[in-house]
Amino acid sequence: MNLQDDYDSDEDDLISDFYDPVLRTAITYKRAVAYFSSSSFPLVAKGLGKFIVNGGNLEIIIGKIVSRKDMMLLRGKTEISETISERILSDWKSLTELIETKHIEALAWLFKSNRLKIKFAILFNDKENLPGIFHSKLGILEDNNGNTISFGGSINETESAWVSNIEYFKVYKDWIDGHKNFVQSDLVRWEKYWRNKAKRFQVVNVNNAITNYLHSIAPNNFTIKDAEQLDRSYKEIGIGATKLFSGTNLVPRPYQNEAIKSWIMNNYAGILAMATGTGKTYTALFAMKEIEEIEDKLLLIIAVPYIHLIPQWKESISEMGYRNVVDTDISNWKNKIAMEFQQFLFSKKQRTMVIVTTHATLRGNNFNSFIKRAEDNSISLGLIGDEVHAMGSPSNQKGLYPQFTYRIGLTATPNRWFDTEGTEILLEYFKGITYELPIEEAIPEFLCPYSYHPKLVHLTEEEQEVYDEFTKKIAGIMGKDEKSQTDQNILESYFRKRAQIIINSSMKLDEFLKLLPQYKNDRHVLIYVSPDQIDTVIRHLNRLNFIATRITYEEDLDERKIILDKFGDGKFKILVAIRCLDEGVDIPQTSEAIFLASTTNPRQFIQRRGRILRKFRGKKSAKIVDFIVMTTGKEIFRRELDRMIEFGKVSSNWSEIRHLLDDIVESDLLEEYKVKGLI
């Protein structure tokens, strides 16, 4: 057999190039993995059948994540506990229903014939009394001539690992000079694992429940003909096998799996800083599904910034297979949750209860009582904080309860604007940022490419005079050695009023009206405006017979859903929005956005960009038109410039924007941005 020294799924077919041929030749297979799914075996049907005919013996050590309580109960034990085996059997029984083939029977027959042995590895953390992960990945195969190979790297024994993920591993062959010592070292390591001689983890056997189940489904005989029937194609039985384990038809993408593993490795806490539109919602839900493997009961709280995001989250939760879901978007939510919690508490079947609420409700006394009740009943608590940056405000910090064992924060912008203290509190509570997927890495595979078109405008003479007057007043207060609270309040007021001059510049509207005719035949156009602009913009759109509507905080949830549905269907061609679409709302059909009003807050304009970059059928690219105000005040212009560079450097027409910057920005300021690596 001509084996490579290493395999990379970016270039190699791991099944046909490696796994199938080595298994077909082997008579022993020793495997230690962090994750195992018997759905991987249908992918190597030929190899498994020949392995059985060869008289092959299989030994597997599977890493098992357990709760703190189970971890303590397993210390010094030789068998897996009854609670954990129930969860394992639940998965295996479901898989038996999914794959109506001989593959599960083959594994059961091997076990019954004492040719398949299974053990579980439990990692202990003595310093913090926290569970960890057995993350070792080792494989050793021997043929009937005594030739032995070992392999190790990133790959687990799952369908996604062998087929979907980008995986890499090295292969050592004991008949090649320079390889034998590595193979021998792996054999020694395997024996240490198998004989439970490791220092930091414990290896336990299957218990009677697992043994009895496998014996019950094993056939009395497994003939050569039966083995030949395993020769079924991957297309027939392989695809979809791993979908079952999350109770859903959805499967995490490789980068989502990476995010989940990073979160688990951080002791089930962390902020996922992923670009808007890359699937933060499903990543978090997939991660929390992992907790069902280690906890008997989990109360999962999902906190969103605005009430209109609750239905959207509930839809995703339903797609993930959760059934016991309640929310606080009803008048009698306290009674509803109390009743559902009581049923959940005494139900033997319901293992997870989900409550979807807002940041504001979560921090309240009424919600605090549910947290305490769960704690009093030894129910484990999990938190998904959507747009988690908002939970760093002084008021929302009250919702960061210490009782939450499992914590996920979701955001595209983890740093709070001008609030270092709030940012640090979030980072400490969620134990840091565990995974990042910036927008430049997400385009074009996960997000649409886009072009960026800044429109430069100036203040009128009158606006400039008022702007300069506020600047002088600000400078006067800033120049004081000591500032009273009154000074601070006045200063903030001046800053706000000066910023409003930029936001509501009349020249923006003049230039906007010149652009409107080119949008006459377009659909799915989103216009961001300020409260002072919205009536004027709507009036001009109506005058020119555009089919447009507005969406603000004044509409209730039902009205808002109707508006968004009609916009998605193209019945409303233009949607004029204030800030209510800044966070969380999914409108993937949107292909063009006009920023008539935008603050200098990076969180806001990055979120707004994310609204139009989600992929959608037939949508190949997106377009952003952004009005940039050229002021005489360097401070404000710098903030406008920050947005221009942030949007431009990831756009498809960055070279065009770069030339524009050379023309409009003073050389010393441009050099400053270069030194910082921003351009």
| Contact (Cβ atoms closer than 8 angstroms) between residue 204 and residue 37 | no
Lowest mean pLDDT among 6-15, 344-353, 654-663: 6-15
**pLDDT for 233 beyond 50:** no
pLDDT of residue 380: 92
Q: Which pTM value belongs to this model?
A: 0.67
Q: Residue 635: what pLDDT?
A: 63
Supply the pLDDT for residue 99.
Answer: 42
What is the average per-residue pLDDT within 9-37?
82
Could you tell me the pLDDT band of residue 463, with boundaries at 50, 70 and 90?
very high
Q: Which residue has the tokens 């993995």?
A: 33
Tell me the average pLDDT across 450-462: 95
Across the range 440-468, mean pLDDT stands at 93
Strand ranges across the sheet with 298-304: 325-327, 352-358, 298-304, 380-385, 406-411, 269-274, 433-437
Would you call 142 helix, strand, or coil by DSSP? strand
- pLDDT of 186 over the 90 cut: yes
User: How far is the C-alpha of 325 from the C-alpha of 317, rounded, in Å?
Assistant: 8
Distance, in Å, from the CA atom of 541 to the CA atom of 544, rounded to the nearest integer, reads 5
pLDDT-based confidence at residue 154 (cuts at 50, 70, 90): low
Q: Write phi, then psi, for 249 (nearest 5 degrees).
A: -85, 0
Is 240's pLDDT higher than 50?
Answer: no
Interval 401-416 mean pLDDT: 93
Instruction: Mention every residue, 6+ apart, whose C-beta is less than 8 A from residue 52.
Output: 106, 110, 222, 227, 230
Give the pLDDT score at 52. Answer: 86
**Who wins on pLDDT, 323 or 260?**
260
HSE-up of residue 60 (Cα within 13 Å, Cβ side): 21
Give tens-digit pLDDT for 323-332.
889 999 888 8
The pLDDT, as a whole number, for residue 42 is 45
Give the pLDDT band (50/70/90) at residue 199.
confident
Does residue 45 surpass a pLDDT of 60? no
Residue 357 has pLDDT above 80, yes or no: yes
Confidence of residue 678 (pLDDT cuts 50, 70, 90): confident
d(Cα 384, Cα 270) in Å, to the nearest integer? 10
Positive or negative, the Cα torsion across 139, 140, 143, 144? Answer: negative
| 3-state DSSP assignment of residue 673 | helix
Q: Please indicate whether residue 10 or residue 241 has the higher confidence score (pLDDT).
A: 10
Q: What six digits make up the tokens of 30? A: 């020793």
Is the pLDDT assigned to residue 41 strictly greater than 50?
A: no
Confidence (pLDDT) at 329: 83
Nearest CA to 355 among 336, 369, 372?
A: 336
Mean pLDDT of the 655-665 span? 92
Residue 440 has φ and ψ, to the nearest 5°, of -65, -25
Q: Determine the average pLDDT of the residues in 391-397.
A: 95
Q: What is the 3-state secondary structure (H, E, C) of 333-394?
A: HHHHHHHHHHHHHHCCCCCEEEEEEEHHHHCCHHHHHHHHHHHHCCCEEEEEECCHHHHHCC
Query: Domain 450-459+505-675 is classified in which CATH homologous superfamily?
Result: P-loop containing nucleotide triphosphate hydrolases (3.40.50.300)
**3 with 171: CB under 8 angstroms?**
yes
Q: What is the pLDDT of residue 129?
A: 46
Share of the chain above pLDDT 90, in %: 46
Give, in order, the Cα–Cα distances in Å from 83 to each of 67, 89, 237, 405.
Answer: 11, 10, 30, 20
Average pLDDT over residues 467-472: 92
In this prediction, residue 497 has a pLDDT band, given cuts at 50, 70 and 90, of: very high
Nearest to 453 by CA among 517, 512, 510: 512
pLDDT category, 155, cuts 50, 70, 90?
low
> Does residue 537 have a pLDDT over 60?
yes
Lowest-pLDDT range, 79-93, 392-406, 612-626?
79-93
User: What CA–CA distance (Å, rounded) separates 258 from 254?
Assistant: 6
Q: Is the pLDDT of residue 158 over 90?
A: no
Tell how strand 352-358 and strand 298-304 pair up.
parallel
Sign of CA dihedral 46, 49, 53, 56: positive
Query: What confidence tens digit (pLDDT) does each residue in 123-141 have?
Result: 765 545 454 566 678 899 9
Report whether pLDDT(255) > 50: yes
What's the mean pLDDT in 4-23?
85
Task: Give the confidence band of 70 by pLDDT, cuts at 50, 70, 90.
Answer: low
Please say if the pLDDT value at position 72 is more than 50.
yes
**pLDDT band at 448, cuts 50/70/90?**
very high
Q: What is the mean pLDDT of residues 526-544?
A: 93
Q: What is the pLDDT of residue 40?
A: 46
For the chain, give the mean pLDDT.
84
Q: Would the pLDDT of 229 be above 80?
A: no
Residue that wins the pLDDT comparison between 230 and 451? 451
Q: How confident is the model at residue 65 (pLDDT cuts 50, 70, 90)?
A: low
pLDDT at 384: 98
Is the model's pLDDT at 356 over the cut of 60?
A: yes
The number of angstroms, rounded, from the C-alpha of 261 to the middle of its chain's C-alpha atoms is 11
pLDDT given at position 236 = 36
Judged against a pLDDT cut of 80, whether residue 487 lies above it is answered with: yes
Residue 156 in this model has a pLDDT that exceeds 80: no
Domain spanning 249-437: CATH superfamily: P-loop containing nucleotide triphosphate hydrolases (3.40.50.300)
pLDDT of residue 98: 40
What residues have CB less than 8 Å from 213, skipping those under 6 apart? Answer: 89, 92, 93
**Domain boundaries 6-243, corresponding CATH code:** 3.30.870.10
Please say whether the beta carbons of 154 and 167 come within 8 A.
yes
pLDDT on residue 271 = 97
Mean pLDDT across the stretch 601-610? Answer: 81
Q: pLDDT-based confidence at 582, cuts 50/70/90?
A: low
Asked whether the predicted pLDDT for residue 250 surpasses 80, the reply is no
